[in-house]
Amino acid sequence: MKEETQGVDLGLRKFIKELGFITGGTSLLATAPWLSSCTPEKLEEIKSEKKARVAVIGTGSRGQYHIHNLKNIPHAELVALCDIYQPNLETALALCPGAKTYTDYRRLLEDKDIDGVIITTPLHLHAPITLDALSAGKHVFCEKAMARTIEECRAVYDAYTKTDKVLYFCMQRMYDEKYIKAMQLIGAGLIGDIVGMRCHWFRNADWRRPVPSPELERHINWRLYKEYSGGLMTELGTHQIEVCNWATHMIPTTICGQGGIVHWKDGREVYDSVNVSYRYSDGRIITYESLISNKFNGMEEQILGSKGTIDLAKGVYYLEEDNMISGMRQLLDQVKTGVFAAIPTAGPSWKPELKSAYVPHPVVEGGFSVVGGESMIGAAQDGSDAILSAFCQSCITGEKAKDVVEEAYYSTVLCLLGNTAMEENRVITFPEEYKIPYMKF
């Protein structure tokens, strides 16, 4: 934080209210420029126009989650469904009985009555279907991650730059109010200079789903096999790496890490435990860890600053020097933790360097949704409904959402490079041929 801003009373919630809670204000759009295509004013303008006619390709659990959200979006009409697995298709059709059904997505793309498609298939199909859909003249909303390989990521990005169709990837944190407001606070200097980032996502489940017949094992449990999945990095890490780069406005230059199959030794190919470090050119580091055999630590996304810390997932911040902590309380905590015992003499300017008491301050006033990261399907009010609504609005207006594709691109490429670093046990440098103009290293 610059010297001229240090006089701001960072302990008061009044500071948060004054920072930019004005919808559509310059502060908000500077923090999240993708919101400029879906402001309330623009939504009001399209109310009298036709609804976005959309189709869902992939009607498993995540597809059905989006179907439920679509039913609550007034400017959307779900007109078609596609899946090669009949039980899922039938379940989805029961949710929207009037929709057409397909078992071949190519036939669906030939339907002129469809404006946009929502792709919720296994990861290895994201890029092929996205490319085919754009080529067929459809607007596209695809689940994260962008693609199974970095080559496919580049192909999708290049295709997007050559089309007039809109393309969204479900990086829902970009549309979650508490993340947006937290980024405003970071940009305003609330936590000082960003000095590091720590993210983790812990669960305790084997990721397996029941298989009615052995030949369907890889079809249903695709997350467990490298041909179809990037494992923990693409399923979970893409969200968390993206928010770190959103906070720093930079991309890491080198990646290293280790991973393994520690607990679930059941024939799976992807790691059930990963620990990856991403280093920026200025020396700052993202420490990322995920495993699925212990849930004690849950999910956290901490942006560490010289003056405070923001936990994005929980929607709270803590200040290093907080005027809401009384001097007596600090003294008692320091005695309790033995801080003074380590330093027998100290001048009047001495400050404790170890952790004492921290007061959590909410990023957003009033009630807001906190997602613990337990569900493999999705959670209510986690931003998924907002980004889906924005896509449907773009299907009508044709306006692309600024930076959404680019954010999905770098988060996916970085996670895929993290897998390579672990598998090859070496430090990876971000390849020159996969850098795009959006990136700042």
Rounded Cα distance between 430 and 441, Å, is: 10
Rounded Cα distance between 312 and 308, Å, is: 13
Q: Give yes or no for a contact between 411 and 246, defined as CB atoms under 8 angstroms apart.
A: no
Rg of the chain (C-alpha set): 23
Delineate the domains of the chain, giving CATH numbers in brackets.
Answer: 16-173 (3.40.50.720), 192-366+406-434 (3.30.360.10)
Closest to 304 in 3D by CA, of 312, 315, 293: 312
| Model confidence band, residue 369 (pLDDT cutoffs 50, 70, 90) | low
pLDDT for 268: 97
pLDDT for 13: 27
* Residue 58 in this model has a pLDDT that exceeds 50: yes
| Model confidence band, residue 352 (pLDDT cutoffs 50, 70, 90) | low
Residues 69-91, mean pLDDT to the nearest whole number: 95
Strands (E), 52-172: 52-57, 76-82, 100-102, 116-119, 139-142, 167-169
User: Residue 128 carries which side chain, given as an amino acid letter?
Assistant: P
User: Residue 211 carries which side chain, given as an amino acid letter?
Assistant: V
* Residue 81 in this model has a pLDDT that exceeds 70: yes
| Model confidence band, residue 29 (pLDDT cutoffs 50, 70, 90) | confident
Tell me the three state secondary structure of residue 126. helix
Mean pLDDT, the chain, as a whole number?
Answer: 87
Rounded Cα distance between 166 and 154, Å, is: 17
| Model confidence band, residue 337 (pLDDT cutoffs 50, 70, 90) | low
Residues 15-36, mean pLDDT to the nearest whole number: 62
- Asked which of 31-40, 337-346, 377-386 is least confident by mean pLDDT, the reply is 337-346
- Asked which of 34-43, 119-128, 305-314 is least confident by mean pLDDT, the reply is 34-43
| Model confidence band, residue 405 (pLDDT cutoffs 50, 70, 90) | very high
Strands (E), 266-411: 273-279, 285-291, 299-305, 308-311, 316-319, 361-362
| Model confidence band, residue 322 (pLDDT cutoffs 50, 70, 90) | confident
CB atoms within 10 A of CB 350: 10
- Asked which of 12-26, 199-213, 386-400 is least confident by mean pLDDT, the reply is 12-26
Tell me the three state secondary structure of residue 397. helix
pLDDT for 30: 84
pLDDT for 2: 36
pLDDT for 304: 98
Q: Give yes or no for a contact between 355 and 401, defined as CB atoms under 8 angstroms apart.
A: no
Q: Give yes or no for a contact between 276 and 288, defined as CB atoms under 8 angstroms apart.
A: yes
Q: Kindly state the tokens that stand for 207.
A: 């990721």
pLDDT for 355: 59
Q: Which residues contact 216 (CB under 8 A, 6 or more apart)?
A: 85
Rounded Cα distance between 276 and 287, Å, is: 6
Could you write out the three-class secondary structure of 82-116? Answer: ECCCHHHHHHHHHHCCCCEEECCHHHHHCCCCCCE
- Asked which of 53-57, 350-354, 357-361, 385-389 is least confident by mean pLDDT, the reply is 350-354
**Main-chain dihedrals φ then ψ at residue 342, nearest 5 degrees:** -80, -20
Rounded Cα distance between 46 and 55, Å, is: 20
* Residue 266 in this model has a pLDDT that exceeds 70: yes
Residues 41-45, mean pLDDT to the nearest whole number: 79
CA-CA distances (angstroms) from residue 103 to 85, 107, 109, 225, 300?
8, 8, 12, 23, 39
| Model confidence band, residue 39 (pLDDT cutoffs 50, 70, 90) | confident
Sheet with 285-291, strands from edge to edge, namely 361-362, 316-319, 308-311, 299-305, 194-202, 285-291, 273-279, 254-260, 428-429
Q: Give yes or no for a contact between 191 and 322, defined as CB atoms under 8 angstroms apart.
A: no
Q: What percent of the chain has pLDDT over 70?
A: 82
| Model confidence band, residue 358 (pLDDT cutoffs 50, 70, 90) | confident
Q: Which residues contact 210 (CB under 8 A, 6 or more apart)?
A: 220
pLDDT for 239: 96
pLDDT for 342: 46
